Structure 1
């Protein structure tokens, strides 16, 4: 029997945490803990070792962005995979989106999303992929397709990749899941997952969202492919 995805919910409003717990109880997601601020979120993540942290952004004390960075970059249990962070916020602002993704978040959704999409997103990020609200995806495309490459001095950072790795990175930027990438390139899902991990290591990135951002930033204006949220 498939193990439920273990989730830590983080929000400074008790009403929101209660509603999330009640809603997720009816799914195959298990809420293993709650936190009302960023500092406690980090402590709870280290202690409970969830699969996914459902993270608010604006909270008293340590913000959700700072907590995300701490969880992702300072994970103290090398024998256990670090949690994936899915940001869930009311504030659809570019500054929060960019900060959360730079901090290592694997997804960004708004609190007006449907319960079905939220559950899907939790499963997607738990599997190591990414999920963005459609409005966020569209704005990221507009932002980065307007920038001339290379974004970084010294040339295109994607030149560090092999041809196969670059092919995979470009399909990640289009929002394709591992299964769809495998079908497109004639690979196995395990092979795609291994390739994605090599890309992350070579480029010093944290997750698939950052791969997509780098690919979009490296493309010339007008050439950016319209990405969609992972399905």
Structure 2
């Protein structure tokens, strides 16, 4: 069964290019598109896609507000679509806002076409898409934000860092690989585990650390110094 995709971008040429890239894949199918946030909300409610590929900077309602409305006002009993945000380095503030609104993936607009297809599959499968080049910028910016905004929980940073000590050695390995942006399949291959086992361990890690998603887990791992800072892009 194909993954149903809704495309949202204010540029018609971009939407056409994305549609061409996605529809070439047998397991992906574009079911509609929208030119702004308001249209995106209406289309999502009407078409019920699996994934929304969402631009953030659009006239009228932004992609951030559209993401928030789709996820919080979803009118059906089944889960809402997963939102994959298209971003550029100079729009970090939109990425941060989209994360807080519930987006589960971030992809640069100049990413290779195969990476777009991979990102759609990853988020459709219930995982977060953590491109390392975006993650290190998120870490830098979130370090300056109040803790409640970073982790979505009132637990003090020192308390959350202390909870890391409750993880098993294997869970710690999984957390570090999550922070490096690996998918469950990639983690399974790296550690010699099954994908189902990795998914179970990730869920247990999130529960123990009081976090909502893999993005927050990656940020916490970097804050706690579990792996070296990601190198910055050269300018």
Identify which of structures 1 and 2 has the higher relative contact order when contacts are C-alpha pairs closer than 8 Å and 6+ apart. 1
Change beyond 3 A, Cα 1:96–1:142: same
Change beyond 3 A, Cα 1:144–1:99: closer
Unaligned stretches of 5+ residues in structure 1: none
**Alignment of 1:189 onto 2:195:** yes
The alpha carbon displacement at 1:121 in A equals 1.4
Change beyond 3 A, Cα 1:226–1:176: farther
The residue number in structure 1 matching 2:103 is 105
Counterparts in 2 of 1:4-153, with a 5 A limit? 4-28=2-26, 29-78=28-77, 80-90=78-88, 92-143=90-141, 153=156
2:176 to 166, 170, 192: 170
Structure having the larger proportion of residues in helix: 2
Change beyond 3 A, Cα 1:127–1:211: same
Give the TM-score normalised by structure 2: 0.77
Q: Distance in 2 between matches of 1:227 and 1:191?
A: 27
Unaligned stretches of 5+ residues in structure 2: none
How many aligned positions are there? 220
